[in-house]
Amino acid sequence: MRIRPVLAVTGAVFLFSYNGFTAHAAARPDSGGGTLPASGTTVALSEDGDMVLECNGVVHRFEVLGTGQVRVGDKVAGDQPTATVRTLAEQLTGYDAELGTVTVSEKTPADGDFVAPAVGREFPAAEALAQDLTVSMQHSPCGAGQPATFESKAAFPLLNTDLTAFPPQNAVYLMTNPVELTDVANPSGPSVTLTEFPLTITQAS
C-alpha cells in the first residue's frame, strides 16, 4: 500500500493533506536542504519516539528508541514533484512499568511519499513516512497481563509537513489519526489503540 499525501500551495503556505488531516507549512524561498538522494538509495535512520497505547480506558506512555531504514523509490515529475519513500525496517525498544519491555518492528515494507513544493525546489517538503507495525510486550494491557503481540491492520502515515533536509536531520513526524492494533493471537479480542506516536528521526551516523 502506498500512502499518498497531497501538497497544495495557497499564497505562501503549503497545505498538506492525508485522509482528511490538513497541516500547514510556511513557504521559504531557500531552505538549504540540498537534493533528494537518487532512486534506489537506502538510508539508515536513528529514531527516538514516544508511544501512547490505550486499552480499556487505561493509557500507557513510554519512550522508544532504535533504528529504521528507508529506500528512495521512483520519482514523478510535475508541478509538485514526488518520490516514493519505502519504509523497509523499524526496530524500536521501550519499557513501561506495567507492560514491561515493548518492541516495535515494521510488519511489512510500506510506501509513503515525499512531496516537493515546486519544480527545481525540493525543500521545504512534506513527507508521509509509512508505518505498518508489530508491537510486542511482556504484559498485555488488555486482559490478564500475559505476553502479547499486536499489529496494525494496514499501513498508516507519520507526517512531517516542513521537512528541510533528506535524509532527515532531527525531523519530527506525527500521527494523523489513532490507529487500532489487533491481537495477533486473538484478532476478535480486545484491541489496543495507538493514540500518539511522535517520532524524531535523523540519519544514522
Tens of pLDDT, residue by residue over 42-52, are 999 999 999 99
Q: Are 192 and 141 in contact (CB under 8 A)?
A: yes
The span from the CA of 114 to the CA of 123, in Å, is 10
Where the chain has pLDDT below 50, the residues are 6-17, 20-27, 29-31
Locus of grid cell 479480542:
189
pLDDT given for residue 74 in this prediction: 92
Q: Are 133 and 49 in contact (CB under 8 A)?
A: no
pLDDT given for residue 53 in this prediction: 98
- Sheet containing strand 6-10, edge to edge, reads 6-10, 13-18, 21-26
Instruction: Give first-to-last CA distance, the chain, whole Å.
Output: 30
pLDDT given for residue 2 in this prediction: 56
In one-letter notation, the amino acid at residue 112 is G
pLDDT given for residue 33 in this prediction: 58
pLDDT given for residue 10 in this prediction: 34
Report pLDDT digits (tens) over 70-93.
Answer: 999 999 988 889 999 999 999 999
- Tallying the residues shown for the chain, one arrives at 205
Q: How far is C-alpha 186 from the chain's CA centre?
A: 26
